[in-house]
Amino acid sequence: MTHAGSVETAAGKGYFDMSGKVVLITGGSRGLGYAMAKGFASLGADLVITSRDAASCERVAEEIVAMGRRALARPCHVGKWPEIDALVDDAYAAFEHLDVLINNAGISPVAPSSLETSEELIDKVIDVNFKGPFRLMARIGSRMVERRSGCIINVTSTAAIRPLPQFAAYAGAKGGLNILTHAFALEYGPDVRVNAIMCGPFWTDISKAWREEADKTSDAALKRIGRPEEIVTTALYLASDHSSFTTGAVIEVAGGIR
C-alpha cells in the first residue's frame, strides 16, 4: 500500500509533477487533508495549510518546510466568509498565485432525529460543507480564471447519494457540493477545471468513534474502510495537467461501498 510521503516513487513524478504549484487545502492539518498535503509536497508543491486549529496548522507547515517546500500556516473557520476572505488575501500575499484549491474541511454531526435537529446544527453543517466551499471557489476560482490556469477539488461524501436519517443535513450539504462542482466547472471553463472526490468512510480522527467496527463489518467490495493515504493519488490526478479533459466530474473513492 502506498503511504503519504512515498507518492513520488509509486506514481512517477513525470505524471504528477507539482513543482512550482501552490496548493491551498482546507482541513489540511489532519486526516485526508494532511495526507494530501504531504503527498503534494512530496511532488514539489508549496502549501497553504488551513484549519481552525492554529497549532496544528503550524505543525504541518513545519513538516512541509522540512521536506524542502514552502508552507503557510493560516488558521481559518471556513464557515465564516470574513475569515475566508482574509485567508485568501493572505495566501495571495504570501505566494502571489494559487494553482490548486482543495475544499476538504467538513463536519458531520449526528442528529437523533429530524424533529430534534436544531437550526444551529443545520446552519453549522451548511456553513462548513456548502457555503464555505462556495465562497472559496468564488474568491480563488475567479482569480484562477484571470490567470487562465487552475484546478479546484471538492471533497464530498457518498452520504450525498446514500443518505441516512442520522446525518441528513450533512448528506444534503454534500449533495449540494456535488452540484456546485458541476456549476463552477461550467462557469470557470475552459481554463479552470473543477472536480470532486466523493469519499466513503475513511480511518481518520473524525471517525475514531466507529472506525474499528466499520472496518471489521464493512460490506464494501474491499471489505474495509479507506486509509487517508488512499485518497492522495486521486487528488494528484485531478490536479495534474494530465487530467486536462476531466472537469465537472465526481469521482467515487469508497472501496466499492454499497
Task: Give the active site residues.
Answer: 170
From CA 212, how far away is CA 34, in angstroms rounded?
21
DSSP percent split of the chain into helix, strand, coil, nearest 5: 50, 15, 35
> Which residues, listed in sequence order, are joined to residue 197 by a DSSP beta bridge?
155, 251
All cell numbers assigned to 54 = 492554529
From CA 126, how far away is CA 211, in angstroms rounded?
24
Chain mean position to CA 65: 21
Q: How far from each other are the two terminal CA atoms of the chain, in whole angstroms?
A: 23
C-alpha angle 43/47/53, rounded to 5°? 135
CB 55 within 8 A of CB 78: no
Q: Would you tell me how many other CB atoms lie within 10 Å of the CB of residue 13?
A: 14
- Closest Cα partner for 37 from 81, 82, 72, 79? 72
All cell numbers assigned to 244 = 486536462
